[in-house]
Structure 1
Amino acid sequence: MASNNFSKIDSSSNNHHHNNRKPEPKLVSDAVQTSLAEHAEVREAHVVIVGAGMSGLSAGLKLARLDYEVVIVEARDRVGGRIETRAFKNDESEHEKGVIDLGASFLHGVEGNPLVELMKEFKQPVHFEDEEEPIKIYSSDGPALPDDVSKKLKAHAYHTFFESARTDSQAADSPDLAASLGSYLYDSKSPLFEAASGPEERVVLAHLVGGLESWTGAALEQVALRWWGFEREFGGKDGVVSCGYGTLVNLMAQEFVRLGGKLMLGHECLGLEHDAEAGLVRTYVQPTAPDHLPRDEDDGRIPRPAEQAGFPHSLAPPITLQSSYSICTLPLGVLKAIVAGDKVPRNFFNPPLPARRQQAIKRTGFGLLNKVILRYERPWWPVNAPWLVLLPLAHSGSLRSSSSSASLSSSKSSASSDSSSPSSVWPCIRASNTGTSMLESTIFATSVKVQNYVPITGEPALVFFFGASAGEAIEELTDDAVAEMMHAKLAAHLDVNEEDEPEGPSECIVTRWRADRFSRGSYAYIPPYLKEAWSDEPATPLDIMEMSRPLWNGRLGWAGEHCQVDHYACVHGPHMSGCEEAERIHVAFQASASASAV
């Protein structure tokens, strides 16, 4: 636990040097003090950072290295935020217990990426995929596609998704504001289908890009074509952090504390208040109460928790943190809840956020990526293949097209009716026939990307990626139901005979980032124009820039993946935004100190 005795700060001069005389601390106003517990503590620091994710840790570490007194407040009992690395359970084998990332796991682009230098500083290895090894594409009613065909189709689908769509969006005439990435990719004249040698390959190509909803976090029809490729990403290969991003953020946190930073885990921010007269920001925090999500094991579904007003908290007294500056790194999903008053007090920010900031938060999309991790005693799939792709049931493989009423999106809402339906395959969810059939139809409506961890860490584990509506549906099921469902799906696609089918997974981990009230989703995206009652403006990259701008006369800064216009939805984005915000505050302190010295 961090020390209760923080050094006092001079809010008038904002001089951070420790050998200067400090005035007595300023107490909070009588009105605010009355609203708090009778014995609420008041602590002081130069900077208070809300959130110990990548952006908060990056900002805190940089400021601590510049000799500022910094407090990082984190509601969870761990650092990392949407970075979470989990150790597999111990087993009786001699295999060393490995780890797996439940949230962020990729390093996107190594050329000029400052995250690469951070990884080197903390000696974290990165695994790069063997590009010579083809992925394995499995249909539900036959053997895997030949390697040469899989390689050709995957290469073309990804080139269309990551290159052609971006080039056509940014280099040609600007697409209509209402046009979506899906409308471009699934059009009958789309370059996506140029590599197809027949209708079956057209369907495979459509499903390959459909599986990339795990990349966008949203249905491709919900991603704006006009801004696809607008950002300036780093070039070079993508890699996987083989020891887990959690190792990196833990090392960052340890270094932050070693330098004198205060890390308050298990303390939830109740709100922030600007005292313009005193030139201070007050951050109100309280020890976090544990969440309990009830589950009904009989039918495998998770009932939605009852609506609650406000935060569930412990009875411990609140703490007031006073600082010259504060940095808010709350995820966009949490900011959306604050603006909407969704089980979060609307007066979280006092004074309230400006209307244009609230509208930017509302307009920007916040997608979802969930993972299902299956660990086995030994691998029973092609161990060298970096990825397996499971195509949907043959009868649901219709092709999305702007000129055809047949669509994959319609198949997402149609229940399965053949022998592969959950009522006949997964006995643990038979009791909820209609509901789980709909969930299964949504989960497997398009291709499922499965990452093989044998080449990465040697761990006999597979990671299933579910974005958008498939990710939402996963959250409705229990871990046991998901484990049985995924194992059955995998065995069916790999064409394993019933007598040869291996035992089920020894461990199953299911993420539920939307249900996590401290994240409420995964990462940002820009949706196409949809006129709303509260705004007639479309979402644009300017909204991301707006969300990054400091408020309250510069006293309240912002950082996070949703604050980096060129690097949102990735780990280096929040790292960069945290460092940039720390630099801004450092310059402000220096300017104030120089003015006081005149």
Structure 2
Amino acid sequence: MMTDGTETAHYGAPTLQTNGIHENGTNGTPAIYDVIIIGGGISGLVAAQSLTKLGWKVLILEARDRLGGRVWTYELDGDGHKADLGASYIHGMDGNPIAEVAEKLGMELRFYGPEPGILRDHTGAVPPDDLKIFENTSECMFSHLKALSQTSPHTAPTADIPLIAPFLSATSPLFDGLTSATSKQQATALARSYAGWCGADLGRVSFKWWGFEQDTQGRDGLVASGYWRVVEWLEGEVVAAGTDIRLGEEVVGVDCAKEQSDRVTVTTTLVHGPAGASCSIKTYTGRYALITLPLGVLQNRPPKFTPPLPQRRIEATHRLGNGLLNKVIIYYDAAWWTDIDSIYFLPDPDHPGNLLGRPTAPAALHIHNLWTLQKTPAICFFVTGYAAEKLEKLSDPAIEQWATAIIQQYLSPTQIAPRPKQVLTTRWLSDPYTLGAYSYIPITAPGEPEATPLDMLEMSHCLWGMLFFAGEHTEPDQYASVHAAWTSGVREARKLKVVLQAADDKRRSLV
């Protein structure tokens, strides 16, 4: 994750522990943890919360200098202005465990709907069909396409059909009531911007599996007070229960070979340790391990597993899609712009790549007005798919120049916009501890092994009776969400309780 060079402020992260409460057993022998959790994101924290409260000895290993993973609230100044650089929504409030925690903690949520002016063209003007275009797009994406894929009485879609194809077909309800060519072009650009729901261009996303999941229902809530409260609360829970937390240690090896006497040995390196120093490598021993590493890490730079992961696990890991969503936060001394909560900028027909999208397939750009939504004088760009990948290749000065020019063009075409106080850019694909944002099910070429929700189930299965796995990419009904990470942590904690209790009962029976 890169910013403009300012020091990162984070919430809920304990001080790096070098001599944890379970560092040594009796007589100086190494401690044996009941469970070693690899990764201090939401799924790892939730699992630790459950297990430590029942008295199990748990260790969390996290490579970052903070907890939370892809949940990261950044403090912009000393006046309480914050912005979520990762997750910012609770999707589907009904029956959502994150919603229940938010209510318990008194977190402020915002619920908003489309307003006149939600679309802006390249001149800063509001298109005459703006609300109609937005309503058509949302209805098509979240109702029509899901029903067409899952409940059509005709032939089921094949795995090589991308989601964008029926979205933009001549008979798509996307274009209902739109008579002008300009309105249809604007609807097409807005449809492509819905890549943010998958983290990938909709030309890569499988239409066959769109709507297959059985996710939470109800409206979406923006976490206006910042997601940090969830991380802070979970940290307090696990620390109070006795969890050992080690920050700044990257896991490079996981060994559960039988010669280890049915123990898991986890090897780490200190992220900021002295080069070549012997103390930069540590080992920990546990009865079981829970791996909560993101999909991108498992695909591109996983720890060394001994024995190696089974081929079916490797194939499932690489069949899944790893999406990307980045944010650009433009922070000002004071708010000076429109009071609309959410706006979509439409691409310039004469310069179709002006919003970083593909010139041959230009997409709209979604922004949040953080002033109306959470009283932070900032504008947040949601940059997804191809544009998000392109963004990561730009320097910070180039991004600032581009973003301020876009704001000038769309929000202040008749007067000079003020200079921003600060510009922050996320680069989740370049971040070695995420290497992406969240999972999706991609299209599959004819004749190739098909990516399916079974791949997510495969990634959730225990290996060798000792390695357990959690994370949003292991939840086929809720993937690509914070509540999926939460649910997976609860799921694996339940499994671990069963095996821990059974092992302890067996040991007691032999005494």
TM-score, structure 1 as length reference: 0.78
Select the residue among 304, 323, 341 that pairs with 1:386. 341
Task: Decide whether the 8 Å contact of 2:357 with 2:363 is kept in 1.
Answer: no
1:215 corresponds to which residue?
197
Residue 45 (structure 1) aligns with: 33
Task: Verify: 1:327 aligned to 2:290, yes or no.
Answer: yes
Q: Could you tell me which of 18, 22, 29 is aligned with 1:6? A: 22
Residue 16 (structure 1) aligns with: none
Aligned to 2:333: 377
Match of 1:504 among 409, 414, 419: 419
The amino acid of 1:55's aligned partner reads S
Q: Deviations over 1:190-232 (max 9, x none)?
A: 2211231221111111111111112211110100000000001
Which residue in the other structure is 1:458 paired with? 375
CA distance in 1, matches of 2:115, 2:357: 31
Secondary structure at the residue paired with 2:382? strand
Q: What letter matches 2:462 in structure 1? A: P
Q: Deviations over 1:394-423 (max 9, x none)?
A: 235xxxxxxxxxxxxxx66xxx7xxxx9xx
Unmatched 5+ stretches in structure 2:
1-15
Which residue does the alignment assign to 1:541? 453
> Structure 1 residues 290, 528: CA separation in 2 closer, same or farther (over 3 Å shift)?
farther
1:23 to 1:233, Cα distance in 2 relative to 1, 3 A? farther
Equivalent residue in structure 2 for 1:252, among 223, 227, 234:
234
- Counterpart residue type for residue 450 of structure 1: I
Tell whether the 8 Å contact from 2:193 to 2:366 is kept in structure 1 after alignment: yes
Cα distance 1:142–1:531, how it changes in 2: closer, same or farther (>3 A)?
A: same
In structure 2, which of residues 312, 316, 325 is the aligned counterpart of residue 356 of structure 1? 312
The structure 2 residue matched to 1:589, chosen from 500, 503, 507, is 500
Alignment match, 2:84: 101
Identity %: 32
Q: What are the equivalent positions in structure 2 for 1:483-494 lying under 5 Å apart?
A: 483-494=400-411
SS of residue in 1 equivalent to 2:409: helix
Shift of 1:49: 0.2
Cα deviation for residue 275 of structure 1 reads: 3.5
Letter of the 1:588 counterpart: V
Question: 1:49 aligns to what SS in structure 2?
Answer: strand
CA distances 1:60-96 after superposition (whole Å, capped 9, x unpaired) = 1111111111000000000011111101134xxxxx3
1:99-248 paired onto structure 2 within 5 Å? 99-129=82-112, 131=113, 133-141=115-123, 143-146=125-128, 149-172=129-152, 173-248=155-230
1:444, CA displacement in angstroms?
Answer: 9.7
Spell out, residue by residue over 1:98-121, the C-alpha distance to the aligned partner (whole angstroms, 9 max, x if none): 110001111001111112222234
Which residue matches 1:567? 478
Aligned length: 490
CA contact 1:442–1:470 (8 Å) conserved in 2: no
Q: In 2, are the aligned partners of 1:286 and 1:318 still within 8 Å (CA)?
A: yes
Q: Does structure 2 conserve the Cα–Cα contact (< 8 Å) formed by 1:7 and 1:69?
A: no
* Deviation, structure 1 residue 189: 2.1
For residue 298 of structure 1, what is the aligned residue in structure 2?
none
Q: CA deviation at 1:23?
A: 11
Counterpart contact for 2:478–2:484, Cα < 8 Å: yes
Equivalent-residue separation in structure 2 for 1:358 and 1:145 (angstroms): 48
- Counterpart of 1:550? 462
Inter-CA distance 82–585: structure 2 relative to 1 (3 Å threshold): same
CA shift at 1:313, angstroms? 7.9
| SS of 1:359 mapped into structure 2 | helix
Residue ranges of structure 1 left out of the alignment (5+ in a row): 10-21, 26-41, 91-95, 292-311, 339-343, 397-410, 422-438
Aligned residue identity for 1:355: Q
Q: Taking structure 1 as reference, are residues 531 and 351 closer, same or farther at Cα in structure 2, changes over 3 Å only?
A: farther
| Residue 545 to residue 440, structure 1, CA distance change in 2 (3 Å) | closer
- Report the counterpart of residue 3 of structure 2 in structure 1: none
In structure 2, the CA distance between the partners of 1:495 and 1:562, relative to structure 1 (3 Å rule), is: same
Secondary structure at the counterpart of residue 72 of structure 1: strand
Post-superposition Cα deviations, 1:221-269, rounded to whole Å, max 9, x if no partner, equal 1000000000011111101112211232122112211111111011110
CA offsets, 1:425-444, max 9 Å, x none? xxxxxxxxxxxxxx676699
Q: Which residue of 1 aligns with 2:256?
A: 274
Q: Is the 8 A contact 1:224 1:527 kept in 2?
A: yes
For the structure 1 residues 290 and 23, does the alpha-carbon distance in structure 2 shift closer, same or farther, using more than 3 Å as the test? closer
Distance 1:132 1:472, change over 3 A: closer
Distance 1:556 1:531, change over 3 A: farther
Distance in 1 of aligned mates of 2:236 and 2:116: 40
Equivalent runs, 1:405-416 vs 2, <5 Å: none
Match of 1:470 in 2: 387
Amino acid at match of 2:454: L
Alignment correspondent of 1:264: 246
Could you tell me which amino acid in structure 1 is paired with residue 502 of structure 2? A
Please tell me whether the aligned partners of residues 443 and 473 of structure 1 are also in contact (alpha carbons under 8 angstroms).
no
For residues 130-150 of structure 1, the C-alpha deviation after alignment (integer angstroms, 9 at most, x for no partner) is: x2644521111462224xx32
Separation in 1 of the partners of 2:273 and 2:141? 41
CA shift in 2, pair 1:50/1:168, >3 Å: same
Aligned residues of 1:547 and 1:558 also touching (Cα < 8 A): yes
Whole-Å separation in 2 of the counterparts to 1:444 and 1:243: 36
SS in 1 for 2:330: strand
**Higher radius of gyration, 1 or 2:** 1
Deviation, structure 1 residue 501: 1.1
